[in-house]
């Protein structure tokens, strides 16, 4: 039986600077679950209850056994809780952790590698199997028990191996059906993602989708929680981080993201991320640890 209290239940196992795990049993506060992204991977597993989730241009129905493999820099958010009780486990994990524990035969990071244009993935597994895999999260290691931290970490690696295996096997039940949504706005979001080097103005959207900019403005805010311009800017800036890693020079990147000037790009980048593009490149090469305040 689920607990009657509405207070959250967290397990923060900060045994390593390269992963954190949270077991959450609270109600979703829509005022706090804002659209966001991370510089590390997230594995979001639903144990019980149901919710609607936004993940990189898609709305998904979460149910027991749903696992989201969320790529770094992909926008996501819990949109609403559909049941009285919603229990989930978050694993925040750095690429370095997975790379260091991979071998020539076993790549633990493979489950996050893009398939076509899609980076984040969705798995649906048997809920009882997911519960079994995640039993370890509440078994907090103790300094007084020799090797308990290694045993705990190995169970995390076992979990990641299982998820990778499911992706490799392409289990037929892996697919989660999208939630009901505004298909026209979804098409617009897809168009934006494919044309980030364009200015992407409301006028351009009007011409391509044969609807008024007033419709776009209203429906975009309703569906995404962002204004049209906020969404476009955020997508361009997230895209710029990928390009910076590729080209290693901010002067080669700003025009590829549809910015008219380097000064505009620099100002927007620093406002969004709190650092300059040059500082980002320096930190990106250092494999920074997870810096996360609280679950969502």
Bridge partners (DSSP) of residue 162 are none
pLDDT: which is higher, 9 or 265: 265
> CA-CA distance, 240 to 265, in Å (whole number)?
9
pLDDT of 99 strictly over 50: yes
Best CA proximity match to 11, nearest among 133, 121, 135? 135
Best CA proximity match to 53, nearest among 92, 93, 81, 22? 81
Strands (E), the chain: 19-24, 41-48, 51-55, 58-62, 66-70, 76-81, 87-93, 121-124
Average pLDDT over residues 17-42: 81
Correct CATH for 19-174 of 3.10.20.30, 2.60.120.280, 1.10.287.130, 3.40.50.300: 2.60.120.280
Q: Which residues of 28-51 are buried (b: 16+ CB within 10 A; e: fewer)?
A: beeeebeeebbbbbbbbbbbbbbb
Structure tokens belonging to residue 15: 């045994």
pLDDT of residue 181: 62
pLDDT of residue 250: 82
The residues, any chain, with a CB within 8 Å of residue 263's CB and separated by 6 or more, are: none
pLDDT tier, 170 (very low <50, low <70, confident <90, very high otherwise): low
Average pLDDT over residues 70-75: 89
- DSSP letter assigned to residue 21: E
Q: For residue range 129-152, list pLDDT tens digits in order.
A: 999 999 999 888 888 999 999 999
Average pLDDT, the chain: 83
pLDDT: which is higher, 42 or 189: 42
Alpha-carbon radius of gyration of the chain: 20
170 C-beta neighbours (distance < 10 Å), count? 8
pLDDT tier, 7 (very low <50, low <70, confident <90, very high otherwise): very low
> CA-CA distance, 177 to 208, in Å (whole number)?
27
Q: For residue range 33-60, list pLDDT tens digits in order.
A: 677 888 899 999 999 999 989 887 788 8
pLDDT of residue 174: 44
> CA-CA distance, 244 to 259, in Å (whole number)?
14
pLDDT of 240 strictly over 80: yes
Q: For residue range 248-274, list pLDDT tens digits in order.
A: 888 888 889 989 899 999 999 999 888
Residue 147 burial (10 A CB sphere; 0-12, 13-18, 19+): exposed
Q: Class of the 183-284 domain?
A: mainly alpha
pLDDT tier, 14 (very low <50, low <70, confident <90, very high otherwise): low
> CA-CA distance, 28 to 78, in Å (whole number)?
8
Count each helix (H run) and each strand (E run) in the chain, helices first.
9, 8
Domain chopping of the chain, boundaries: 19-174, 183-284
pLDDT tier, 288 (very low <50, low <70, confident <90, very high otherwise): low
| Residue 73, CA atoms < 13 Å, CB-side half-sphere | 17
pLDDT of 227 strictly over 70: yes
pTM confidence score? 0.75
Best CA proximity match to 54, nearest among 72, 76, 32? 76
What percentage of the chain exceeds 70 in pLDDT? 84
Average pLDDT over residues 181-194: 81
């Amino acid at each position: 039986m689920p607990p009657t209290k509405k207070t959250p239940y967290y397990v923060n196992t900060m045994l390593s600077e390269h992963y954190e795990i949270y077991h959450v049993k609270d109600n979703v506060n829509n005022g706090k679950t804002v659209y966001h992204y991370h510089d590390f991977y997230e594995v979001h597993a639903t144990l019980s209850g149901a919710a609607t989730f936004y993940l990189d241009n898609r709305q998904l129905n979460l149910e027991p056994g749903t696992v989201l493999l969320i790529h770094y820099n992909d926008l996501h958010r819990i949109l609403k809780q559909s049941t009285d009780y919603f229990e989930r486990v978050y694993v925040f994990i750095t690429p370095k952790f997975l790379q260091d524990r991979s071998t020539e035969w076993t790549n633990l990071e493979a489950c996050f590698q893009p398939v076509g244009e899609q980076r984040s993935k969705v798995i649906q597994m048997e809920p009882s199997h997911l519960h079994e895999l995640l039993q370890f999260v509440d078994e907090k290691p103790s300094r007084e028990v020799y090797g308990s931290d290694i045993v705990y970490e190995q169970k995390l690696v076992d979990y990641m191996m299982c998820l990778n295996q499911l992706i490799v096997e392409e289990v037929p039940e892996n697919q989660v059906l999208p939630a009901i949504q505004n298909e026209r706005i979804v098409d617009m979001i897809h168009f934006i993602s494919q044309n980030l080097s364009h200015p992407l103005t409301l006028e351009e959207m009007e011409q391509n989708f044969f609807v008024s900019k007033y419709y776009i403005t209203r429906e975009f805010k309703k569906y995404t929680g962002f204004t049209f311009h906020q969404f476009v800017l955020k997508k361009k800036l997230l895209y710029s981080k990928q390009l910076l890693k590729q080209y290693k020079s901010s002067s080669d990147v700003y025009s590829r993201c549809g910015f008219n000037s380097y000064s505009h790009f620099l100002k927007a980048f620093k406002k969004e991320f709190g650092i300059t593009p040059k500082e980002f490149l320096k930190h990106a090469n250092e494999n920074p640890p997870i810096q996360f305040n609280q679950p969502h």
